[in-house]
Structures are given as C-alpha cells and as structure tokens.
Structure 1
Amino acid sequence: MEGIHPLYDKSMECLLCKQKSTTKKVRSRFVKVAKYDTDFHPIYEDSTVNTLYYNIFVCPHCGFSYSEDFSRYFPPTTMETIMEKVSSQWVPHHFSKERSINDAINTYKLASYCGALKKEKHIILAGICLRIAWLYRINQTKEQEERFLRFALKEYEASYSTGDFSGTQVSEARLLYLAGDISRRIGNEKAAIKYFSLVFERQKNAREASIIQMARDRFQELKQKHETSRPMLHN
C-alpha cells in the first residue's frame, strides 16, 4: 500500500445549509483493530490511523456538525434554532484536513451540541458522548473521560426508557450492556449489576450470544471483587 495515503476526501452536502464541501475519511484497508475495550472502544494496530477522528462532518459554511447516524429530518423549529445558536455565530473554520485528537474531540462536542438542538435521538447522542469519552481515554484525561461517560449513560438510560433505540443498529441487549459497563466504569456497581442482569433476562436472541457472554464476564468480575466483602451480588 506504499504510496496510498490512509485518508481520502469525501464529498458532503450539509444537511442544514445544503452547501457542498469535503471531509476526510480513512480508507477501509488501513483500518485494523487490535482489540476492543469492554465498552467497545476499538484499539487500532496503527494508532496514527484512527477512524474515530473522522466520524463527524463539520460544515465549514454554517457550522452544523453531525455523524452519518443523524437523521435527515429536522423537527419543527429546530433548523431555525440551529441557525440562530450555531450558524449565526459560526466563524468559518475547516476540519477538512488531517485531524489531531483535540480536533476530533472538538468536532464531537460540536455534533453533540447540534444534535441536542436538532432533538436527535437519545441513542445517537449517547454514542457521541461515549466516543468523546474514548478520545479522552486515549488522551489519558480521566476526569473528562468519566464526565462524558456519565453524559453517555444518561442518554442511554433515556433511550431505553423512551425506546428510541428501536430500529437502529443498537439492540436492546447492547444498550443494556453498555449502560452496565459504563456504570461499572464510573463506580456505580449496583447499577452495573442491575443492567447486566437485564441482559441475562433478555437473552432470547441467539445472535447476541457474545453480548450476553460479555455481560456474564463483567458480572463475574464484580462478584469476585466483592466476594470477601458484605454480600451485595445475587445470581
């Protein structure tokens, strides 16, 4: 692959202002995952080629920022709100070149803000917050990582209670597992046990055997951690 750059330009038409521009993407042949963290954070063989950096498109014309998971539909008055709160204050800025990790964090934060103004689904906002936490993890900024894990958990819980994950790529079992693992990571082990237990209760789908096993592994880790302390875990 000598001579081929990992990044290429992808043409985009802004969902908001409809103007065209380009954004960088990583060629799939360069994407090689070495392993995953327990919350599905991908760790790449080549840390200099990280697709996470390029998931968000930031329109250089109006500032509207979004991922490919955003819907094309804008609920009533949300376009006007975004134009007022984002576009009217936007200083033309390009994120269309190679991004640093701080550039990536800023694009996700812009997308989180735009997504909230657009009233995007909780499941989409949760994914954005989780990815910001991952980037802070790479940066070894523990306080900010936990802050955004808490934001992600709040959105996952809202998605579960409203059911807005239905019809997306995130299944009920995956959502519950993520809620459990995030709860575990931020130190709320009681909530983690509750969510992992819900995964077990909903193990009807054989295709999700790997998620169920991951929930069992996390559950057992917590159980072993507390087996010498006061009883708090029940099968």
Structure 2
Amino acid sequence: MDNLLFGLEELGITKTNGVDIFGEEKGDSRLKTKIEESTVSEQKESDFLFEKTMTCPVCDKSFKTKQVKIGKPRFIGTDSDLRPRYEGVDTVKYDAVVCLHCGYAELMRNFNSISSRQIKDVKENICNTFKGITNELGEYSYPAALQRYKLALYNGVVKHSKLSERAFICLKIAWLYRAQIESLSKDTEDYAKVAREYAINELMFTKNAYEGFFKAIEKEMPPICGMDETTVNYMLSDLARRCQDYENAEKFAFAVLSSRSASAKIKEKTRAELEIIKKEKASSNK
C-alpha cells in the first residue's frame, strides 16, 4: 500500500497519494511483529474520559476533544517498543487532537507549538478543503482514532515538523493497528483477512517510525519526543529488530548497556531484548 494517509479523503484532504512522510527515499526493510493478548476490564473506556475544551491556534475557534482523566486508569506495563498499556482504556487513541472546524491536528503536547509560517501552510494546504470531523459520542473507535492520527501526520508533513515528531506519530499509528488486531472479535467475517490487513498496516507504520527516528538522531539532540538518549536507543533497538535490521538492533542495544547514565532497569530490559535479537537473527540465517 503506497498511500500511508489513506482514509483522509472523506475529510476533504485529497492530495495524500505519494506523500513522502520524511522527504527522502525510503529503504525496503522487511518487518516482523508480535500480537499480544489484550487486557480485559469490567469498566467501560468512556468511564476514563472527559471532554476538554480547547482553542485552535490556527483558526482561533473553540472545540471539544476527548482526553483521559489523569490518574484514573491503572498502568499495567509497556510493550517492547514502549507502547503503554492501561487497564480499561487505550490511552493512545486520545493523544491526537483535531480542530473540528479547520482540520489542524497534532499530538496534545505539541498542539499549541506552531509558528506563524506553519499556520499559513496549514491554512493553505488543509483548512481550505477540510470538510469537518465529528467528535464521536463515548469512546473513539479505532477507525476514528486512526483517522485523527493520519490527519495529524499529514499536518506534520505540511508544516515541516521535526522528523522525530512525524516518526512518533507513525509509531503511535502502528500501536493503534496492533490494538485493533487485539480487539478484533474472532466472530468477525473474514477474520484472518481483516487481521492480516491490520498487521500489514502496523508493519508499514513501524517501518516508517524506525526510518524517521533513525534519521532524527542524526539531526536532533535529546530529549527527543520527551525521551532521553538511553530511552531512544532502547526504542530504536526494538524497532530495528522488528524491521529485521539486526546489525543496528545490536548496535543500539550495546549503546544502552555501555551508557553510564542508563538505569539498571533499562539495562535489564535491553539484555532481554538482545536475547530476542540473537534468536531472531539466528533464525533468519537458517
């Protein structure tokens, strides 16, 4: 699938086919993924949400967006690529904020960080054709969350945001596709076909996240997307493994283990990661 931003056409965003997310040629990495069991909770996801009123820095209009109540959900851990897991709610779904009026979209932490030049680019390339988006009742469905993230990614391309910021959005989109697989009912018609499609999309965005972060560390200084150098190296080790780039997976892992500032906890996780890398590398050479 060549168009990473498929699904935005119904919002009036039609110039997405062939968009190069990072503005350079991409490699042809093969990827692997792991489907993990989802957490079941008796509470409804909507119980963890509230409506936050925001003002758009592009069009100056107010709108409401769903956010997760701070301290409400119980943290239960992360996947190997740092995807967070909470009991009862997928917090990732609610980090992409979209102005319902003009189509400006960004991750919550960066929403108000936009220059006058970037505002001009967004108005010219997005606002002029944006048809509007609905703030769903209750929790966001995965298709709705993915649409918001892809709009945020396209905004990032249009306003030339940092490589790391675009890469982080790609990574979060990959997490959403993984979660969509986990939440898919086995009774779904053509279950295997649908699950495979989601898995392919997860792999595609994982690949782009790895590419973006790999390029970003050559041009940006830590912290990168709020992560220190050690955390970035650990994450890149896991993403490289998923891309079957085992040489760089080992290199990033060794960078963590040799770091004097790395905690004992992250070094322990990295040693476990190295064991997985070695097994997968040996398996791929058979």
* Secondary structure in 2 matching 1:86: helix
Aligned to 2:233: 176
Letter in 2 for 1:136: Y
1:50 equivalent to 2:90? Answer yes
8 Å contact from structure 1 (residues 95, 103) kept in 2: no
Q: 2:154 aligns with which of 113, 128, 134?
A: 113
For normalisation by structure 1, the TM-score amounts to 0.85
Other-structure match for 2:260: 204
Report the Cα distance in structure 2 between the residues aligned to 1:152 and 1:56, rounded to whole angstroms. 16
Residue 129 of structure 2 is matched in structure 1 by 89
Partner of 2:277: 222
Matched, 1:24 2:81: no
Q: 1:219 to 1:209 in 2, by over 3 A?
A: same
**Rounded Cα–Cα distance in structure 2 between residues aligned with 1:22 and 1:229:** 49
List runs of 5+ in structure 2 lacking aligned partners: 1-42, 182-197
Shift of 1:222: 2.3
Give distance in 1, aligned partners of 2:243 and 2:265: 23
Tell me what 1:66 maps to. Answer: 106
Structure 1's consecutive aligned runs of 4 or more residues displaced over 4 angstroms after TM superposition are 224-230
Greater displacement, 149-158 / 71-80: 71-80
After superposition, the C-alpha distances for 1:126-145 in whole angstroms (9 at most, x for unaligned) are 22111100111112221111
After TM superposition, give the deviation of residue 193 of structure 1 in Å. Answer: 1.1
Q: Partners in 1 of 2:75 and 2:132 — Cα distance? A: 34
Q: Is the 8 A contact 1:157 1:179 kept in 2?
A: yes
1:37-94 deviation line (CA, Å, top 9, x unaligned): 1111123322xx2211111111011000011221644346322221111100100222
Distance 1:210 1:15, change over 3 A: farther
What residue ranges of structure 1 are gaps of 5+ in the alignment? 231-235
- Distance (whole Å) between structure 1 residues aligned to residue 284 and residue 151 of structure 2: 44
Alignment partner, residue 249 of structure 2: 192
Partners of 2:61 and 2:283 in 1: CA distance: 62
Alignment partner, residue 218 of structure 2: 161
Deviation at 1:156, TM superposition (A): 0.8
Q: What CA distance in whole angstroms lies between the structure 1 residues aligned with 2:57 and 2:116?
A: 15
Of residues 111, 135, 141 in structure 2, which corresponds to 1:100?
Answer: 141
Cα deviation for residue 228 of structure 1 reads 8.5
Within 2, Cα distance between the matches of 1:197 and 1:75? Answer: 38
Change (3 A) 1:172 1:63: same
Give the 3-state SS of the residue equivalent to 1:30 in structure 2: coil
Change (3 A) 1:214 1:13: same
Deviations 1:191-215 (A, max 9, x none): 21122122223x1215x33222222
| Greater relative contact order, per chain length (Cα 8 Å cut-off, separation 6+) | 2
Work out whether residues 69 and 124 of structure 1, in 8 Å CA contact, stay in contact via their aligned partners in 2. Answer: no
CA distance in structure 1 between the partners assigned to 2:83 and 2:277 by the alignment? 20
RMSD, aligned α-carbons: 2.6
1:123 counterpart (164, 180, 196): 164
CA contact (8 A) 2:163 2:212 kept: yes
Q: In 2, distance between residues paired with 1:73 and 1:228?
A: 45
TM value normalised by structure 2: 0.71
